[in-house]
Chains A and B, each alone.
Chain A
Amino acid sequence: MKRKLTMIQAITEAMDQKLADDSRIMLLGEDIGVNGGVFRATEDLIHKYGPDRVVDTPLAEAGIIGAAIGLAMNGKIPVVEIQFLAFIYPGFEQIVSHAARMRYRTRGQYRVPMVIRTPYGAGIRGPELHSESVETFFAHVPGLKVVAPSTPYDAKGLLIAAMEDPDPVIFLEPTKLYRAFKQEVPEEMYRVPIGKAKVVQEGSDVSIFAWGAMLRVAEDAAKQIERENGLSCEVIDLRTLYPLDRDTIIASVKKTGRAVVVHEAHKTAGLGAEIISIINDEALIYMKAPVKRITGYDVPVPQFSIEDDYLPTAERVKDGIMETATF
């Protein structure tokens, strides 16, 4: 049967199916029970699975994440919701000092299979600290996997894969895409493998790398530039930010010889720099132009009166593409 779901519906379905499938799965977070989560990702799950498996916690991110670590070490698979990415900071120490290192410290004796889900990114006219895109913090920490889907299909498949992963996974959900569009999503449980990028559109002149909400911007720019200048763009959705899918990145730039990275995170030390570095290491001699980065700026994500000026636009991406193309 063909059904179309929004990303948030796909995410809910992934959790619902895993809750039914595996009694070790537990959801924890602020307002996720009766209220169904501030974005309704856990809507009605408390009624289906009860308050011991869908837990409204006290307001304490270090407590939630720390408790989840213990639960994970002792046989559960906690799926934590943090209301907005910036509110992960009180729990940051738990993530980097403990979740990420427990396997390492105990020489594999203890594992922390858990998922931390959190909405991230700008473009929703949110209040201060509701629009951050700081994926680098997590991609920088050995021991964590970092995932950022850009479609309902991938969101469901990646979240199921994350819940089955033996390591802690930071699952970044682009807030702007939660309800932006619907897509056909299979009813059964399926997995989208963590660590694999997706070639969204094949092309021969320029490779464009993006993830999350920026994928749409990249696709938009690619379409426009193809129409306006006849340039053929290969658009790649990285989907997993750690570990990066190096093979797909390299295969693409070997073909095109040009690349543009698009991310809404701040430019300096953003993942764009890492992708460029990978290209330098593995494919420098294939390159016809320096790789361009189209990113957010090195400023706090501004309040919403000028939020749109912070975010990369298709226009800016097109400029970047033309710069590499005319280098």
Chain B
Amino acid sequence: MSSLYQVLSPAGELVGDLKGQLDEATMIKMYENMVLVRQFDRKSINLQRQGRMGTYAPFEGQEASQVGSAMALTPGDWLFPTYRDHAAAIVHGQSMARVFLYWMGHMEGSISPKHLNIMPSCVPIATQMVHAVGTAWASKLQNEKHVSIAYFGDGASSEGDFHEALNFAGVFQTPTIFFCQNNGFAISVPFSQQSASKTIAQRSAAYDIPGVRIDGNDIFAVWLTMKEAMQRGLEGKGPTLIEAVTFRYGAHTTADDPKKYRDQESLSEEWRQERDPLQRLRVYLENQGLWNETKETELIARVNEQIDAALVEAESYPKSKPEDMFKHVYAEPSWMATEQESELVKPSKQEGIPA
């Protein structure tokens, strides 16, 4: 149970079977996407430091898990990200400008592109998991060939909602994919202190659903596992729990200082040297003659241009107006809120001094 499913080794060598499923174009796209989101992540941290963005949750180190899983999806699938899964959202089609907007404190950053079902970043831990059971259940009842994927962390597996979600999905055999990025920490608490079970994948046994533990830094393993889980779901065989073992190099958020609870630098350095998801795919692609330094330079320039354009779009988005907070609270605004709104824009009426 605690062994990891791996297809591409950290040294960039194939150690598993691609099952004839992964073509070269897809592999190149995987690499390009991972580079894009890594640059995006770094840019976001810089923007936060410059005061152009609020608190931000970085994911560097987890690119293979997020990119690989999102690339396996099809447009009608439902994606439930946490506050850390913007890479998955971007790869599935969310605009980078919207992601920037969200972190700049605008609700409009949560709007999904029309033809996709990308849910807003979920802040309360594990709560989105039950929603992914519901959407998948509806897809099944309505005979729509779509899966729902809920992203979550290792810490989330302690919340009641995790267990209720798995139980429901098992009972109703919903096409839900529970995708855990086990990055070893829930803020300061290491997994060993989060749970007495050795793995998260083994929890699936309690609900009698398939559970797999994979190398979350191996994008081939992620992608192939996802494809299998999707197929199972679409064939009416129910949910899958995927535990992608990975690591996040940086802090929990830009407001957190991990030096207090983990050996931040050396742990990150070790993962970077030995298990980096981008590096291993790059080595593989180079060995296949599919990648080189020129392509790399050209790619970096191209993604940086895209990111800069998204930033310009986000920063030139109209500023939120105070009255915007009253919009969309109900289909029809309540009289209380309408009255309050008119008070909001009412000019100060300090006229006379009392008698």
- Chain B: which residue is nearest A302 at the CB level? B325
Chain A, 82-125, contact with B by CB distance < 8 Å: what is the 0/1 string? 00001101100000000000000000000000000000000001
* CB-contacts of B313-355 with A (<8 A): 319-322, 324-326, 329, 334, 336-337, 340-341, 344, 348-354
Give the nearest-CB partner of B109 in chain A: A303
Residues of B within 8 A of A310 (CB): 325
Determine how close the nearest CB of chain B comes to the CB of A42; give it in whole angstroms: 11
Determine the chain A residues whose CB is within 8 A of the CB of B168 once the complex forms: none
Task: State whether the Cβ of B160 lies closer than 8 Å to any Cβ in chain A.
Answer: yes
Contact of B320 among A126, A231, A305 (CB under 8 A): A305
- What's the minimum C-beta distance from A222 to chain B, rounded to whole angstroms? 15
**Are A297's CB and B325's CB within 8 A?**
yes
- Residue of B whose beta carbon sits closest to that of A324: B354
B54 and A125 contact, CB distance less than 8 A: yes
With both beta carbons as reference points, the residue of chain A lying nearest to B341 in the complex is identified as A297
> A56 with B159: in contact, given A128-B123, A230-B353, A298-B337 (CB under 8 Å)?
no
A interface residues, how many (CB within 8 angstroms): 49
Beta-carbon nearest neighbor of B161 in chain A: A90
Residue A36 lies at the interface, judged by CB distance under 8 Å to chain B: yes
A residues within 8 A CB of B106?
303, 305
Would you call B16 an interface residue if the criterion is a C-beta within 8 Å of the partner chain's C-beta atoms?
Answer: no
Closest to B352 in A: A326
B350 A318 Cβ-Cβ under 8 A: yes
Residues of the B chain whose Cβ atoms lie less than 8 Å from the Cβ of A56:
188-189, 193
A315 to chain B, nearest CB (A): 7
Q: Is the CB of A30 within 8 A of B187?
A: yes
B125 located at the interface, meaning its Cβ lies under 8 Å from any Cβ of chain A in the complex: yes
Does A33 sit within 8 A of B, measured CB to CB?
yes
Is B186 close to A, CB under 8 A? yes
Residues 151-184 of A contacting B (Cβ, < 8 Å): none
Segment with Cβ contacts to B, from A14-22, A57-65, A207-215, A241-249: A57-65
User: Within the complex, what minimum Cβ distance (angstroms) separates A327 from chain B?
Assistant: 8
Interface check A129, CB cutoff 8 A: yes
Closest to A58 in B: B158
Is B239's beta carbon under 8 Å from chain A?
Answer: no
Among residues of A, the one whose C-beta sits closest to the C-beta of B317 is A305
Q: Shortest distance in angstroms between B257's beta carbon and chain A's nearest beta carbon?
A: 9
* Chain A, residue nearest B121 (CB): A128
Q: How far is the CB of A268 from chain B (nearest CB, A)?
A: 5
Known: A127-B55, A307-B105, A319-B348. A35 touches B123 (CB 8 A): no
The smallest beta-carbon distance between A83 and chain B, in angstroms, is 9
Q: A33-B188, A128-B123, A326-B351 are in contact. Are A303 and B105 (CB under 8 A)?
A: yes
Q: What residues of chain B lie closer than 8 Å to A127, measured between beta carbons?
A: 54-55, 83, 123
Q: How large is the interface on B (under 10, 10 to 19, 20 to 34, 35 or more residues)?
A: 35 or more
Per-position contact with B for A31-65: 1 when CB-CB < 8 Å, else 0? 10111101000000000000000001011111100
Residue of B193, B329, B337, B350 with most chain A CB atoms under a 10 A cut-off:
B350
Instruction: Tell whether A299 pairs with B189 under 8 Å between CB atoms, given A86-B124, A90-B159, A319-B348.
Output: no
A94 nearest CB across to chain B (Å): 10
Instruction: Say whether B189 contacts A59, CB under 8 Å.
Output: yes
Query: B81 an interface residue at 8 Å Cβ cutoff?
Result: no
A322 at the interface (CB under 8 A from B): yes
Contact among A230, A267, A305, A326 for B340, CB-based, below 8 A: A267
Asked whether B68 is an interface residue with its Cβ less than 8 Å from the other chain, the reply is: no
Question: A309 contacts the other chain (Cβ, under 8 Å)?
Answer: yes
Chain A residues lying within 8 Å of B341, measured Cβ to Cβ, are 297
B320 touches A306 (CB 8 A): yes
Q: Is B7 an interface residue (CB 8 A)?
A: no
- The CA-CA distance from A31 to B125 in the complex, in Å, is 14
Name the A residues within 8 Å of B156 (CB-CB): 59
Decide yes or no whether B195 CB sits under 8 A from chain A.
yes
- Whether B104 is near chain A, meaning CB under 8 Å from some CB there, is yes
Q: How far is the CA of A241 from the CA of B219 in the complex (A)?
A: 53
Could you list some 23 contacts between A and B, CB below 8 A?
Answer: A30-B187, A31-B187, A34-B260, A35-B187, A58-B155, A58-B158, A58-B189, A59-B186, A62-B159, A86-B123, A125-B55, A125-B105, A130-B123, A297-B344, A298-B329, A298-B337, A305-B104, A305-B106, A306-B324, A323-B349, A325-B354, A326-B352, A326-B353
Q: Which 4 A-B pairs have the closest CB atoms?
A: A309-B322, A35-B188, A304-B105, A58-B158
Apart from A90-B124, A230-B353: 14 A-B pairs, beta carbons within 8 A: A30-B189, A62-B160, A89-B124, A90-B160, A125-B54, A129-B124, A205-B354, A297-B341, A298-B334, A299-B337, A302-B325, A306-B321, A319-B349, A326-B352
